[in-house]
Amino acid sequence: MSEQDLDTYMAIARAVAVEEAKTMPTTPDLQRRAHAIAEGARDRLAAIRRAERAKRPSNVVSGAIRDAIKAMSPAQILGRLSELRTIHPEMQFAHRSFEHLSDDDLRSALEDVESLIERGD
Q: Per-residue DSSP letters for 21-61?
A: HHHS---HHHHHHHHHHHHHHHHHHHHHHHHHHHTS---PP
Rounded to an integer, what is the distance from CA 104 to the centroid of its chain? 14
Query: Do residues 72 and 50 both lie within one domain?
Result: no
Q: Which domain holds residue 100?
A: 67-119
What is the average pLDDT value for the chain, to the nearest integer? 84
Quick one: pLDDT at residue 11?
A: 93
Question: Would the pLDDT of 109 be above 80?
Answer: yes
Contact 60, 104 (CB under 8 A): yes
Whether residues 17 and 43 share a domain: the answer is yes
How many structural domains is the chain composed of? 2
Comparing CA positions, the residue from 36, 38, 33, 49 lying closest to residue 95 is 49
pLDDT at 118 over 80: yes
Q: Measuring CA to CA, which residue among 68, 67, 53 is closest to residue 104?
A: 53
pLDDT over 60 at 121, yes or no = no
| Residue 63 pLDDT | 53
Residue 58 predicted with pLDDT over 60: no
Cβ count near 112 (within 10 Å): 14
pLDDT in tens, 73-99: 999 999 999 898 889 888 777 766 777
The answer to whether residues 29 and 73 belong to one domain is: no
Same domain (yes/no): 95, 73:
yes
Instruction: Give a yes or no: residue 60 inside a domain.
Output: no
49 occurs within a structural domain: yes
Q: Is 61 part of a structural domain of the chain?
A: no
